[in-house]
Each structure stands twice: as C-alpha cells, then as structure tokens.
Amino acid sequence: MIPPDLLAQFEADYFGRLSVAEQQSLQESLRARPDWQEELRQYHQLWRGLNKLGEDQLRQNLANWENMASSTDEAELLEWYFQNQLSAENRQWIDEQRAANPAFAKRFEAYQKIYHGLDQLGETQFRTRMNEWEKETAPQASATDQTTGRRVALRSYRRVLAIAASVLLLIVAGLLWRNQANDPQALLDDLYTYPVTGNTLGNDSISQAEYLAIFDQAHQAFQQKNYESAVELFTTLSTKVPPDTFVADDLSYYQDNVEWMVVLSRFGAGKTAGDFSQRLRSIADNATHRFQEQAQKLSDQF
C-alpha cells in the first residue's frame, strides 16, 4: 500500500501543486515500485470523480446564487444601454428584443421614462443646491465684523450642542452595551428566533425527513440552553449534503439558518476561539444573508 506521506504527494501531483523537480522525484519513486501502479490508478479514478462531484456542487451553488442575483438584471442592462456603455452588437441585440417582444418593448419605454426623469430631476436638484450654496456664501462676503462675530458665536454654540448631544448618545449607548455585554444570556435570547418550518416544497423523502429531524433537534437543544449539543448538531447539518428535494429558496433558507446557528451556538457554549470571528464576520458582511443584522449586533458586542 502507498504510505500516506507519499499518497499526499501523489495527490498534490494530480491536482497540479508540485514543481517540475518534485514531479520528477515522485516519478522516480513510482518507477522503483511498480506494485503501486494499480493502486495509484485507482486513486486517480477517485480524485477524478471527487473533483467532478465538487465541480458539480459548485455549479449548483452558482446557479442558485445566479437566481438570487439576477432579478435586477433587466433594469441594470437597460441602464447601461441608456448610458451608452454597451457594445454596438449588444445595443442591437436589445433593439431586436424590443422589436420582437412587445412586453419587453413596454418595459423598455417605462425604464426610459424613469431614467430620463431621474436624470432631469437630478440636474434640477443639483441646480437648486447650487443656488442655495450661492445664497449662503453671498451674505457672508458682505457681513460686518459684529454680525460675523455673532454668526460665529451662534455656530459655535450650535456646534457645542451637537457635540454634547453626541457625547450623551455615546454614554447612553455605552451603558446599554455594558448591560447586555455583562449578560450573554440576554444577548443570546435577543439574537435567537425560532425558524419557520413546514414551508418546504416537494415530496418527503427519507433524506429530507432526516435533515429536518436533525434541524429540529438542534433548535430544541439550543432552546433548552444545551449549547454544546446545539453546536454538534448544527455543525453536523452544515457538513451534510442538503436533500435534493429542496428548491433554491429552501436551500438558501436552511443554509443561512444553519450557518448562523453554528455561530450562535458556539457563542452560547463559549467556543469563540479558532475560526469563530471569521464565520461571524462572513455573515455580518453579507448583505444577502438573512441573519446579517443579528450577526452585526453580535459582532459589535463580541
């Protein structure tokens, strides 16, 4: 049998991670052991299959993300059209769509009116603002010293009030934060919501039933403050291939929930070392994540 250290090198070679010199050295090891040829061939077959499965899974994810992201594509495309940013061929493609598709032609006209109107409105408002700036600077140029002095004093007074209000706000916010930070359980209760289930479409299958059972069990553990168990169960779910009966909405819903609950459970169990911060940040920075707001709140406290 090929020893693990060498197997790691054969794998690195298969996936293109070795230098030329390392590849040559490895080939020499292989020439010295013809009895490894068949075993290596089998590993190549496994890596080929695993690689393809991984790519299939990635493409499935890309398709799901595409569905979520493409709802504003038409508006964006037409905006580029009106801004004259498209190639001649793509402008022509849009013109052909207008000619062939009356519904699209109507939407095109509607967007055209909107963008043109927004353009005009923007220009009008900008002119209005310029006029206001003009008025603000003109009187100042002709003010007497006394008047100027009073204006300066008033501005300073307002400024002092504004600063005082900000400081007061910070003090109050700090007190509130300290209260919550001193009580992690209150924070956990605030950030946790029981999920809405039962809206999954498609036929019940054993794998779907199993997935949902573990999901429910994990949430029960969390509600009973058995955070260690909740961590284990949610982490298990995060490593499972989701049921293939889930449609894109379900997939997104459960994935977001599980991702967030892994983080929240770990916080409850005090397991905040390792990649905890990274996981929390990746949710807090993700505008499309269902639990972005909660993650940001936890991130601020943490």
Partner 1 sequence: MSKYVKDEQLLQQLAYGLEADWQRFYEQERSAFRLYFLKHTSQDPEAIRRLYQDALVVLHRKISREQLVAPLRSSLRTYLIGIGKMLHRKQWQQQTTLWEDDIPEIGEAPSVEAEHERQAAAELVRGLLDRLEEGCREILTLVYLRSYAMDAVKETLGLPSVGAARKRKFDCLQRIRQLL
What tokens were used for 42? 């089998």
90 vs 124, beta carbon nearer partner 1: 90
Number of residues lying near partner 1 (CB under 8 A)? 62
43 vs 115, beta carbon nearer partner 1: 43
Distance CA 27, CA 36 (A): 12
Binding mask 39-78 toward partner 1 (x if CB under 8 A, else -) reads x--xx-xxxxxxxxxxxxxxx-xxx-xx-xxx--x--xx-
| Dihedral pair phi/psi, residue 271, rounded to 5° | -100, 75
Binding mask 225-264 toward partner 1 (x if CB under 8 A, else -) reads ----------xx-xxxx-------------x---x-----
Q: Is 33 in the site for partner 1 (CB under 8 A)?
A: no
CB of 266 to partner 1, least distance (A): 10
Residues 6+ away with beta carbon under 8 Å from 57: 241
Alpha helices in the chain (DSSP H): 4-14, 20-32, 37-69, 73-82, 88-100, 102-141, 145-181, 184-191, 206-223, 227-239, 248-268, 276-284, 292-301
Distance CA 281, CA 279 (A): 5
Query: Are the C-beta atoms of 207 and 250 separated by less than 8 Å?
Result: no
Residue type at position 205: S
Q: Is 289 in the site for partner 1 (CB under 8 A)?
A: yes
Query: Are the C-beta atoms of 197 and 216 separated by less than 8 Å?
Result: yes
Residue from the set 217, 286, 296, 301 that interacts with partner 1 by CB under 8 A: 286
Q: Is 21 in the site for partner 1 (CB under 8 A)?
A: no
CB of 237 to partner 1, least distance (A): 11
Q: Is 293 in the site for partner 1 (CB under 8 A)?
A: no
- Residues in the site for partner 1, rule: CB under 8 A? 1, 4, 7-8, 15-17, 39, 42-43, 45-59, 61-63, 65-66, 68-70, 73, 76-77, 80, 85-87, 89-90, 93, 235-236, 238-241, 255, 259, 274-275, 278-279, 282-283, 285-289
